[in-house]
Every structure is written in structure tokens, then in C-alpha cells.
A and B are shown apart, each in its own frame.
Chain A
Amino acid sequence: MSCPEKYIAYMHDFLDEDISDESEQELREHLQTCPACEQHFKELKKAIAFVQSTAHIKAPDHFTAGIMANLPKENKKIEVNRWLKNHPFLSAASLFLLLMAGSLFTSWNQDEQFSFSKQPNLIVENDTVIVPEGEVVTGDIVVRNGKLQIEGEVQGDVTVINGEKYLASAGNVTGEISEVDELFEWIWYQIKTVTKKTFNINEDSEQSLQY
């Protein structure tokens, strides 16, 4: 080709969309008079069109899954957080259970004091609650961390938590007698009480007197 090299350079500048107006004008004029350069320019454009015409292809299926499976293991904390976000009900339930259990253990540990249901005609000697002989106690008796000695009559349920119960031969209890000692029983007892309280809000609740 006898034409100056600059025309080829102009062609590429044109294809790069980086050509001055003067150069573009010069190139156009030259192409009109030079079939060889015109042919060259056409071939360049044709090559580009061919490259652009290659069908656009998409990534294969499971491409993303393949990557995700090969990523280094993520932080445990994030995993737990996401699980919690995705299972709000279970999270709330487990949080509730956790707090409940916590409060139960706390009340178990804190209820070291001696306490009992306040009823008229009960006699208290140190940590022993006595239902005196010949007396009739109407209502339930609950004694915590202490002894209960029944010589008279109790018209109601008797519960001894973490303590001892002594029923004299003359003593009489019309309701149920229960002793709670172990932690498990204590929890069961709590649940029962809470349930009862929840469902019979109007009933008299246990009045306790603490030393």
C-alpha cells in the first residue's frame, strides 16, 4: 500500500471514537479517492462486526451455587444471626424459655428465707409453724424453708417446700398434702402455681410473711 501510514492510524482512532474533526474529515476524503484504504477500512469494520456477532452466552446453571459452596466458611455469629432472622417465632420462644428458666432458678436460689402462709391461729416457733391442737385452720398452708407441725385441723391443702412436715395423730388435713424438695419438683410446682394464678386471678393468692 502506497498510502501514508497515518490513514491507518486515523482509522483506528476513528474506531476508538477518539479522532479530531480535522483528521476525520481528512480520512473521509482519502477513503473516497483510495479504494485500497477503503477496502482496508471495510475489513476492519467487518472483523469488529464478526467479533460482536458471536452469540452472547450465559453462565451455566448452578454457577452461583458452585461458588457459594466453595467459599471459605463464614463467621459462626453471622450464621446464627441469620438463622434467628429467618426463624423469628422459634427465636422468641427459645428466648422466652431461657428467661423463664433463669427466673425459676433465681427464685429457687433466692427463696432461702423461711416463709409461710399467713393464717390466723398459727403458732410460729423459730422455723417451725404449728397448727395448734384443737384449732381449725381454714384455707391452704404453704411453708417454705421451714417445718410444719400439724396438731389441729387444716381445711385446705398443705404444701411444704424445702422443709419437713410432721402430722400428729390428732392432726387432720382435709385437702392435699404435698412436699417439694427437689429442684425438679420445685419447677413443676412453680409451673402449676403460675398456671393456677393465671387462670384464677380472682382467687386469694398466697400471702407470705417473711422473717
Chain B
Amino acid sequence: METIVISRIKQVLKGDQNAYGEIVELYKDKIFQLCFRMLGNRHEAEDVAQEAFIRAYINIHGFNQNKKFSSWIYRIATNLCIDRIRKKKPDYFLDAEVPGTEGLTMYSQIASETDLPEDKLVRLELQENVQREISKLPEKYRAVIVLKYIEELSLNEISEILDLPLGTVKTRMHRGRETLRQRLKNL
């Protein structure tokens, strides 16, 4: 995959915008997933994920082709998410999506006419709770947890993405896990 990406990047560097579309296609799900788990909201996740790709395009000249493109785009997206979390004010809208669900808004929480099957509802609830706990983590723990357990990256990659020493990544990982353990043990 990296060789395809390198050749596409070369085309992009020559000015071919369509080649960039192919790069976006390759990474969009991963980046969107990262943003969604970091932010807990689809609209914001889409917004930030798109911004990450646009920034990557604008700064593509600064990309070191000896490194992994995935790490680079993860890094841009993670930093944007962390910025967004820091700026974020807690606000709730009825039509905002419930964290951890797809297409489920607060309206459906008020009264639902068609009942979901019991097991599906339970699963949704569980996922929602887990996502809520992820969203409550301080962002520096959240980033390592999401990168490790949702994006399934190695500690070395995470240390590269976050530009942190491996030891720091481990410490954050341990603290993040302990916090989640405390909060999820009774689920």
C-alpha cells in the first residue's frame, strides 16, 4: 500500500489533484474513525477529518517520503482532534448524534415509536457507554488509547505519530488503561 501511496504523492507533487483523491480513499475510514472516537460526534469528526486531509494536501511538499504517509496523516488528524477538544465547550443539541451510535439522535432518546430489538439496543447502549468513557478521558490518554486499540497501531508508530518518546507513550497508555478499568469495570 505504501508504494501506491508514494507514487500517488509524486503525482500530487506534480500538481495532479485527482491522485490525491485516491490517497483520501485509502485512508478516509481510518482517519474518520480516529476523529470519531476522539471527538465522539459524527459531524465534528467529519469536519476535522476533512480538514486533516486538506491540511495534508496543502503541506504535501513537507512530507518526508522516507516515512510512512499513514503516520503523517494520523499525526495531523490527532493534533487537530486535540485542538478541537481543547476548544470545545460542552454543548448539547437534540439533533446532535448520540456518541457511539450511527444516526441516533437525542430525539430518538425521548421517545421511540419503533422499538429496536432488545439485544441490539443493549449493544448500542454498551457501545455508547464505552464511547462516553473514552470521550471522558483526558485527551492525551485518549489519543494513545484510540490509536492503540481502535486503530491497532504499534507503540512505536504511536510514539512517531504523537512525536513523543516511547516511555511517555507507555506511561499514558498505562494511565489511560487504568482510568478505563475503573470506569468500565461495572459495565
Contacts and interface: CB of A to CB of B under 8 A. Distances in A.
Interface residues of B, number: 46
B185 A67 contact: no
Contact of B15 (A15, A40, A68, A77): A77
B28 A64 contact: yes
A64 B181 contact: no
Nearest to A78: B15
B10 to A, nearest CB: 13
Interface in B128-187: 130-131, 134, 145, 149-150, 155, 170, 173-174, 177-178, 180-181, 183-185, 187
A104 to B, nearest CB: 35
Interface stretch (B32-40, B64-72, B84-92, B111-119): B32-40
A92 interface: no
A46 B149 CA distance: 12
Contact of A57 (B14, B102, B145, B185): B102
Contacts of B177: 12, 15, 44, 47-48
A57 to B, nearest CB: 6
Nearest to B169: A16
B150 A52 contact: yes
A74 B12 CA distance: 10
Given A44-B177, A64-B24, A58 B29 contact: yes
- The residue in B54, B58, B145 that gathers the most chain A C-beta atoms within 10 A of its C-beta is B54
Given A46-B184, A51-B180, A71 B57 contact: yes
Contact of A43 (B15, B58, B181): B181
Given A44-B177, A51-B134, A72 B58 contact: yes
Contacts of A63: 24, 28, 32, 46, 49-50
B108 interface: no
Interface string A40-72: 100110111011111111111001101110111
B187 A57 contact: no
A82 interface: yes
- The residue in A43, A46, A77 that gathers the most chain B C-beta atoms within 10 A of its C-beta is A43
A169 interface: no
- The residue in B21, B46, B155, B185 that gathers the most chain A C-beta atoms within 10 A of its C-beta is B185
A67 B127 contact: no
Interface of A: 9, 12, 15-16, 18, 40, 43-44, 46-48, 50-60, 63-64, 66-68, 70-72, 74-75, 77-78, 82
Given A15-B177, A51-B130, 6 more contacts: A46-B181, A47-B183, A50-B130, A67-B54, A82-B16, A82-B18
What 6 pairs between A and B have smallest CB-CB spacing?
A59-B32, A75-B15, A47-B180, A59-B28, A78-B15, A74-B17
